[in-house]
Amino acid sequence: MAFRKSMKTFLFALIVTLLLAGLSVSAQDAGILRVGMNAPVVLDPALHTNDPETALNRAIYDYLVEVLPDATIAPNLATDWTISDDGLTYTFTLAEGVTFHDGSAFTSADVVYTFNRLKEVSSPALNLLGTFEVSAPDASTVVFTLSAVNADFLYGVGARQALIVKDGQAQPNVIVEGDTPYVNFNGTGPFVLSSFDPGARAVLTANPNYWQPGVPALGGMEHIYIDDPVAQVDALISGELDFIFKVPSQQVSRIEGAEGVNLLQIATSQHPVIRIRTDEGSLGADPRVMEALKFATDRDFLNDLLLEGRGVVGNNDPVAPVFSYFYDGSVENQPYDPARACELLTEAGANPLETTLYAPNAFEYPDLAAALQQMWAETGCINVDIQIREEGYYYDTTNPDNYFDVQLGITGWGARPTPQILLNEAYIESGIATGFNETRFVDAEVEALVAEARQTTDDEARRAIYAQISTIFRERGPIIIPYFAPLFGATSARVQNLTMAPFPGATDFRTVSLGS
């Protein structure tokens, strides 16, 4: 079995190398950055969620404001903004001289259309934006009126799905027949889509009319879709790729020992969530089942085994240690206690617990699933079958065994600039409708605290609220967070000025260049 698996990986890597070899020289000569990643599935800029989808849209479109890698907010299509004293009105002034790829002028009407469309299609961005109205008093001004104070509203304006599309663009990113198949990929962004082969590659060329002077520095980019993360590393080391992200921790030592490549590592709030559905009739409807899984999970051991201790074990809630001011390290989480796990399952009438654990083929998550299977089996009362799904398939909710619908699964959560964003997206009732609250966790006390934190602009008061939320998650939360992981990426030595974003699909390539 192991031999067949290794041969399959070798042959796949060989095929990728042969396919790319003919392009490598010409790509280098033309200043083309070759980025390896999984294939995107959901292309709509208002609905995409994972890194490859974000990377494609990030190249073609622009945001009103930028959420920088250090979690600060910077101007972009909006050059500046003001906030009313009551915190309910945000007024943005727009950049001048901006055009879409089709040559039409960018105006406030495009912003109004974009944000109203987010509401029409129930975009995940609404978890951050909350309730608002948007208007345009003139062509260069946009006004957002909020129904209640939202301390993180600017992060909503810069949400990954809040990319500005042209007024009236009803089918963004839909390929059409004819001589102009990519006419619907019409943004103001630094790159123009010139070729797209789903599952294989996207070719992007530099926008010669980009509104910011001197960028992009590249002649273009190629997004090369390789679902096998080991094959991505192989292609980077062999010189066929220039940048990869989401490198599995088991591959870090290979990259560190290779010539001509540089390892990138940043501390993040990125984490896998081991989660259970809690809605009526589901596996975790009785909270004692999830509490049993917590007692059956040795998180320190998993961090050492899977990340070689590079991660950080925090609490079983999304307030990560990297959010140092808001993190409460005094919360006492369940220790590893297999006997107590079995007692709880007996109390819940679920001993033995037999079910299926689903996980995406990304990072070290297949190995995490295998480690959990063995660890839980050693309790004598928990037996799980493992099902691994390709990342694009797993996160596509139109598939029958997607991450949102399975009873017990591992979900990869990328970094967010504030803990409030994670709470808004995944742990309150509104997150069910937007496809992020996969646990179906609805807790009246948590709902009230998250709503209070949303309207609290004082950091000390917010810290106290998050401490209460952490305590509730310890008692009845539907998740296990084994560790908060650093993000690993890698570049060829010739890549210059690349700052990998904590959510790597959001990396800004405008100033990236290639040396000799």
Q: What is the pLDDT of residues 208-238, one digit of tens each?
A: 999 999 999 999 999 999 999 999 999 999 9
Strands (E), 77-153: 78-83, 89-94, 132-138, 141-146
Ramachandran quadrant class, 462 (left: phi over 0; alpha: psi -120 to 50; beta: rest) = alpha
Tell me the pTM: 0.77
Q: What is the pLDDT of residue 27?
A: 43
CB 165 within 8 A of CB 185: no
In this structure, the strands spanning 32-37 and 220-225 are parallel
- Domain map of the chain by residue range? 2-40+189-260+493-514, 62-157, 271-480
Cα(65)–Cα(62) distance, rounded to whole angstroms?
9
Euclidean distance between CA atoms 363 and 270, whole angstroms: 11
Asked if pLDDT for residue 187 goes beyond 50, the answer is yes
Q: What does the alpha-carbon distance between residue 279 and residue 508 come to, in Å, rounded to a whole number? A: 39
Give the Cβ contact number of residue 385 at 10 Å. 10
Task: Give the model's pLDDT for residue 12.
Answer: 47
What φ, ψ does residue 203 adopt, rounded to 5°? -110, 125
pLDDT higher at 362 or 43 = 43
What phi, psi does 135 have (nearest 5°)?
Answer: -145, 165
- For the 2-40+189-260+493-514 domain, the top CATH level (class) is alpha beta
- 93 has which bridge partners? 80, 141
Could you tell me which CATH number the domain at 271-480 has? Answer: 3.10.105.10
Residues 6+ apart with CB under 8 A from 413: 269, 270, 271, 272, 273, 318, 422, 426
Query: Cα 251 vs. chain centroid, distance in angstroms?
Result: 21
Examine the pLDDT at 73 and tell me if it is beyond 50. yes
CATH class of 62-157: alpha beta
225: nearest Cα among 362, 38, 44, 361: 38
Q: Tens digits of per-residue pLDDT, 441-465?
A: 999 999 999 999 999 989 999 999 9
Which tens digits make up the pLDDT trace of 10-38? 444 444 444 444 444 344 445 999 999 99
